[in-house]
């Protein structure tokens, strides 16, 4: 068998209750992310359009996770290898591994075929009642069949092109028109990937000036190439500067003005994930009950174009080349390849209390969003 140490931090969840608690936790966290976006919009860090785009991705992520929770509803209750168990990355991620999403994409394509061969929900329930009353036994097999039916139904519903509600391993770029100025159109390109290396959802927002002949989203020659290029460049290992300069160099009439990358995660939890450093102590000391034992880090990297220079391309023509602002005095700019990097942490009251008491170094400049009882969000510096 092929084995690589790269998958060492992948952990299987095999117990029914553990699996359900995991998905319930993720569901709750996803619910808070939408509020965080609203909060950031209120503070002027995101425009209305960007906030809407982000919420779209968060909603899709949430739908994907809830579909997975249906798929693995009966884990540990039915024997055999195929109901299977969810695998998640327990180190610096806390999210399901990327392969789960890739398998789900395959399932979504075949959802209709699966559904056509399955008994309907009422029929399954009817048979369950019969087995309970007649056979005096727990209808695990039927429950499993129903969970799969619900899973495929959800997938079929979400995968419709009009809904497009699944967060897949790759979510191809989409363009939103922002403004037009002297023949130059400005678009917000947004796309998202589920990074295979770190197993985290990553959202990209790029503001780009289009000096081309026809509008970018309707250009048959440029748009497909742009999409393919951006998808192939969406690796967490690449710095923003690398992505932006590469894009600038490969498309002469597109000028990236601002590129943002948002990592949604990692999610830390004392009972699920392995972590080192202060956050580990904070969660351990919080001793929080189920449902409050988590902290989600949200990182925004931002790269802004500083100015434009004309560079010769060949003998007779010149092209614009963006020079991006790196912050040499920040001491970290050149290293991160971004103009600035902001980290935020979202956590429930109890872990926050411990965090505030322990006041570990390194958390001073991290924005904290505290989730209070009833779900309201308090922003703390």
Q: Under the rule (CB under 8 A), what is the footprint of another protein?
A: 1-4, 6-7, 10, 80-82, 87, 98-99, 102-103, 105-106, 169-170, 196-197, 228-229, 231-233, 235, 237-239, 241-242, 245-246, 249-250, 309, 311, 321, 323-324, 326, 328-329, 331, 334, 337
3-state class percentages of the chain: helix first, strand second, coil last, to nearest 5: 40, 25, 30
Least distance (Å) between residue 218 CB and another protein? 22
* Closer to another protein by Cβ: residue 314 or 364: 314
* Closer to another protein by Cβ: residue 233 or 379: 233
Spatial contact of 85 and 19, defined as CB atoms under 8 Å apart: yes
Least distance (Å) between residue 197 CB and another protein? 5
Count of residues for the chain? 381
* Closer to another protein by Cβ: residue 181 or 310: 310
* Closer to another protein by Cβ: residue 39 or 107: 107
CA 381/CA 364 separation, integer angstroms: 8
Least distance (Å) between residue 336 CB and another protein? 12
Q: Which of 291, 213, 242 is nearest to 28 (CA)?
A: 291
State the CB neighbour count (10 A cutoff) for residue 176. Answer: 16
* Closer to another protein by Cβ: residue 110 or 380: 110
* Closer to another protein by Cβ: residue 158 or 288: 158
The answer to whether the peptide bond before residue 124 is cis (omega within 30 degrees of 0) is no
CA 136/CA 156 separation, integer angstroms: 34
- Half-sphere exposure (CA, 13 Å, Cβ side) for 307? 3
Spatial contact of 193 and 202, defined as CB atoms under 8 Å apart: yes
Least distance (Å) between residue 140 CB and another protein? 13
* Closer to another protein by Cβ: residue 152 or 369: 152
Spatial contact of 292 and 350, defined as CB atoms under 8 Å apart: yes
Least distance (Å) between residue 292 CB and another protein? 32
Helix (H) or strand (E) run with residue 361 in it: none
CB within 8 A of 359, min separation 6: which ones?
none
């Amino acid at each position: 068998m092929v084995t690589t140490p790269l998958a060492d931090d992948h952990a299987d969840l095999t117990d029914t209750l553990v699996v359900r608690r995991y998905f319930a936790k993720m569901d709750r966290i996803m619910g808070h992310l939408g509020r965080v976006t609203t909060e950031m919009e209120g503070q002027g860090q995101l425009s209305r359009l960007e906030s809407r785009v982000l919420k779209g991705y968060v909603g899709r992520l949430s739908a994907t996770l809830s579909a997975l929770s249906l798929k693995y509803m009966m884990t540990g209750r039915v024997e055999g290898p195929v109901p299977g168990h969810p695998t998640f990355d327990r180190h610096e991620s806390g999210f399901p591994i990327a392969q789960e999403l890739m398998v789900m994409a395959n399932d979504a394509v075949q959802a209709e075929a699966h559904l056509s061969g399955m008994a309907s929900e009422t029929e399954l329930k009817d048979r369950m009642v019969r087995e309970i009353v007649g056979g005096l036994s727990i209808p695990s097999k039927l429950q499993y069949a129903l969970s799969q039916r619900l899973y495929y139904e959800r997938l079929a519903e979400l995968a419709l092109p009009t809904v497009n509600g699944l967060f897949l391993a790759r979510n191809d770029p989409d363009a939103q028109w922002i403004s037009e100025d002297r023949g130059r159109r400005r678009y917000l390109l947004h796309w998202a990937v589920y990074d295979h290396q770190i197993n985290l959802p990553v959202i990209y927002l790029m503001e780009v000036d289009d000096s081309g002949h026809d509008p970018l989203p309707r250009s048959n020659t440029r748009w497909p190439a742009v999409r393919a290029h951006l998808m192939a460049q969406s690796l967490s290992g690449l710095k923003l500067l690398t992505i932006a300069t590469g894009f600038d160099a490969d498309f002469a009439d597109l000028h990236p003005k601002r590129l943002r990358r948002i990592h949604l995660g990692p999610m830390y939890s004392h009972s699920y994930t392995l972590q080192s450093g202060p956050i580990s102590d904070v969660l351990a000391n919080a001793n929080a009950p189920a449902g409050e034992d988590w902290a989600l880090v949200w990182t925004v990297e931002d790269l802004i174009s500083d100015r434009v220079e004309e560079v010769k391309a060949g003998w007779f023509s010149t092209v614009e080349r963006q020079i991006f602002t790196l912050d040499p005095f920040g001491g970290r700019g050149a290293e991160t390849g971004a103009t600035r990097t902001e980290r935020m942490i979202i956590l429930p009251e109890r872990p926050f209390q411990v965090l505030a008491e322990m006041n570990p170094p390194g958390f001073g400049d991290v924005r904290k969003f505290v989730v209070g009882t009833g779900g309201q969000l308090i922003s703390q510096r």
